[in-house]
Amino acid sequence: MIHTLVQLAYIVATALFIFSLHWMSDPKTARNGVYAGVGGMMIAVLATWAQPEIVHHAWIVIAIVLGFVVGVPLSQVSLTAVPQRTALSHAFGGAAAGLVGTAKYYLWLSEGPRTSRPSAWSRSSLEIVLGYLTFTGSLLAAGKLQELKWIPQRPVTYPGQNFVNLALARWWRSASARTSCCTRPAPASASLFPVVSVLSLIFGVLLIIPIGGADMPTVISILNSYAGLSAVAMGFVLDNKLLITAGALDGSSGLILSIIMCRAMNRSFTNVLFGAFGQVQATTAKGEEKTYKAETVEGAAQILEQASLVVIIPGYGMAVAQAQHKVREVYDALRHKGITVKFAIHPVAGRMPGHMNVLPRRGRDPVHRSRRDGRDQPRHAPVRRRARDRRQRRREPRRRDRQEQPHLRHAHHPGRQGAHGLRDQALEEPRLRRHRQRALLRRPARGCCSGTRRRWSASSRSS
Amino acid sequence: MGAHEVPAIDLPSMLFVFMLSTFIGIGVIRRVSRLLHTPLMSLTNAISAIAVVGAILVTGADYPTHIRFLGAVALFASMTNIVSGFLITNRMLKMFKTRDAGGKAAPK
């Protein structure tokens, strides 16, 4: 009876987890997603705890309290440190799976074949390898992200690396096969169990060592996937469907994120999946020799002034240098001059997927608004005050005229031409010509340029 | 012994569950906004700490002490994940939220 109730509670918890991820699709509902996740987790914990097999409660309470004591400070880290925290958290998840697998193994060893089935052994070795591999791999990744001195930032490669990995894999395979072949655990195979565990721990290190700091977004996603898969393996060991479903959700999330990361970096997913990071990176670095042009501050200011469209692409450096406010100032200054400013964020910018979408939020700069709904004007920027003011400042024709004759939109700046020197006129002329041409080109199919139209309608609404 | 387990589910049906939930996960997560990838990762992190279920089963059951100790360490690790994962996700999302609310409250 109670077992049926527990299974029902597990179904509810699974549904809540799915809803939790579903609500993450929109920033408006995302917080409901968190609450649903918390609810699902509480249901799962309480339902498990209520089972009649659970007879010792003291240790559970102690472990949960300790978890809170460590977990709460861990959630208060600064946002630039979020990747490290995530990696550390994957390490905890992997450790949990590995430890439960180990505990189960020794339990079967002490109980004999009465409660165990032959297939359970291979499942538990799978859980152990995934768990421990995630544990050391994530610890190393966290160390790299934290930039600890004794962990090399550069990818570590050596000749015959794949050979060594393969040899270790075969060794692990044979050892785990010997521990798991027989239905009745023999003392000889039990002595091989530590070998299996240690090899799994080494795997994690070998997997992460050849990866440089720049590839961390991909690595974190993959480790996320591994952490989920180790929970799935635990579900197979414990015959628990909740573990399987929740772990699979996590595993697929890591999978999708790493595919997105790979696509954004023009790397094939299979290469990353099989751990050949170092080699791939070396070849692509040689293959592409793109040139770039550095610019002085004065030169950059000049170029920005003359541009009609500026796209700012913030990177992790901006967040580390706390330059969000300066970027905001530049943004405001450019908007004052009537220059369109847009923000573009590369999917792998920052150190974990979507990192740059979170970081600038502290600086109150308009990144997310421009990304989300196309309104690239901040609410408090002076350009938004009133349509008429803006029009007068920019010497634009009235809205009605613009709609009738779109090529007039940027025409004739009588005040400006007088105020500026000859040099400005010369610079202004080609720019205006370009604008007129564009406007003329756009005229037959105005429906396509919805961005500009929306901006106008937004400003007219506010007037 | 206390190991009277739930009637064992057979392997194929568990694989079936695994396959279906993977597809659900892929379908759901594909639609997650790019803005929210970092919070999503913390959230799935917290959800993958569902390993807490296994840890409780090992810690609380009538097993030898050293096995229960391993379970307690695992329980501590996953509980840390749950707490910090949900809290930090909430913290990040709060930042999205206040920005929206601020924009609505002061339409100037």
Residue span of the structural domain in which A388 resides: 297-462
Contact between residue A225 and residue A211 where contact means Cβ atoms under 8 Å apart:
no
Q: How far, in Å, CA of A426 to CA of A430, rounded?
A: 8
Q: Which two tokens stand for residue A418?
A: 């007088």
Domain count, chain A: 3
Q: What would the pLDDT profile of A119-149 be if each residue is shown by its tens digit?
A: 666 777 788 888 998 999 898 888 888 877 7
pLDDT by residue for chain B (108 residues), tens digit each? Answer: 334 444 556 788 889 999 999 999 999 988 887 778 888 888 988 998 898 999 998 888 888 888 889 999 999 999 999 999 999 888 888 877 554 443 333 332
Domain spans in chain B, listed from the N-terminal domain onward:
33-105
User: What is residue A11's predicted lDDT score, i.e. its pLDDT?
Assistant: 93
Residue B33 with chain A: CB contacts under 8 Å: 24-27
Q: Is A393 helix (H, G, I), strand (E, B) or coil?
A: helix
Please give chain A's pLDDT, 463 residues, in tens.
Answer: 788 899 999 999 999 999 999 998 888 888 888 999 999 999 999 999 988 888 888 889 999 999 999 989 888 888 778 888 889 999 999 999 999 988 888 887 777 655 555 566 677 778 888 899 899 989 888 888 887 777 766 666 666 667 777 777 777 777 766 665 555 555 556 677 787 788 888 888 887 777 766 677 788 888 899 899 999 988 888 888 899 999 999 999 888 888 888 787 777 766 665 554 445 444 444 455 677 777 788 888 888 888 888 888 877 777 777 777 778 788 888 888 888 888 777 766 777 777 777 665 544 444 444 333 334 444 444 444 556 666 666 666 666 665 555 555 554 444 444 444 555 566 667 777 777 777 766 655 444 444 444 444 444 444 3
Which value, in Å, is the radius of gyration of the alpha carbons in chain B? Answer: 20
Residue where a domain terminates, one of A19, A49, A76: A76
- What ipTM does this complex have? 0.85
Q: What is the pTM for the complete model shown?
A: 0.71
Chain A positions touching B96 (Cβ under 8 A) are: 27, 30, 361, 368
With respect to residue A90, please indicate whether it lies within any of the assigned structural domains: yes
A265 domain residue, yes or no? yes
Asked if residue B97 lies in contact with residue A369, where contact means CB atoms within 8 angstroms, the answer is no
The answer to whether A156 touches A210, Cβ cutoff 8 Å, is: yes
Which structure tokens are listed for A258?
């790493």
Residues 198-237 of A with CB under 8 A from B: 220-221, 224, 227-228, 230-232, 234-237
Shortest CA gap A442–chain B (Å):
31
Residues A127 and A237 occupy one common structural domain:
yes
CB-based contact, A56 to chain B, within 8 Å: yes
CA-CA distances (angstroms) from residue A372 to A27, A352, B35, B36? 10, 20, 8, 11
Mark whether A71 and A90 lie in a shared domain: no
Residues A69 and A104 in one domain: no
End-to-end CA distance of chain A: 67
Same-domain pairing of A404 and A446: yes
At which of A45, A76, A107 does a domain end?
Answer: A76
Q: Quick check: B60 and A93 CB within 8 A?
A: no
Q: How would you classify residue A346: left for phi > 0, otherwise alpha for psi between -120 and 50, otherwise beta?
A: beta
Instruction: Classify residue A378 as left (phi > 0), alpha (psi -120 to 50) or beta.
Output: beta
| Helix A216-238 × helix B52-60 angle, to 10° | 40
Of B18, B37, B73, the CB nearest to A354: B37
Which of A46, A76, A106 marks a domain boundary?
Answer: A76
Residues A236 and A128 reside in one and the same domain: yes
Same structural domain, A339 and A389: yes
Residues A255 and A393 reside in one and the same domain:
no
A184 and A58 in a single domain? The answer is: no
A99 with B70: Cβ contact below 8 A: yes
Contact yes or no for A124/A196 (Cβ under 8 A): no
A35 shares a domain with A160: no
State the nearest Cα–Cα gap between A255 and chain B, in angstroms: 8
Treating both helix axes as pointing N-terminal to C-terminal, what angle do A82-111 and A58-74 enclose, rounded to 10 degrees? 160
- The verdict on A72 and A92 lying in the same domain is no
Is A231 in contact with A250 (CB distance < 8 Å)? yes
Q: How far is A21 from B86, CA to CA, in rounded Å?
A: 13
Residues A56, B68: C-beta atoms closer than 8 Å: yes
Asked whether the beta carbons of residue B53 and residue A44 sit closer than 8 angstroms, the reply is yes
Residue A292 lies in a domain: no
Q: Are residues A67 and A101 in the same domain?
A: no
State whether A269 and A341 are in the same domain: no
- Of A92, A18, A320, nearest to B24 by C-alpha is A18
List, for residues A204-234, the tens digit of each pLDDT value. 888 777 776 667 778 888 889 989 999 998 8
Identify the residue whose tokens are 């199919």.
Answer: A445
The alpha helices in B50-64, defined as continuous H runs, are 52-60
Residue B34 contacts A where some CB pair is shorter than 8 Å = yes
Contact of B105 with chain A, judged by CB distance below 8 Å, is answered with: no
How far is it, in rounded angstroms, from Cα A312 to Cα A170? 50
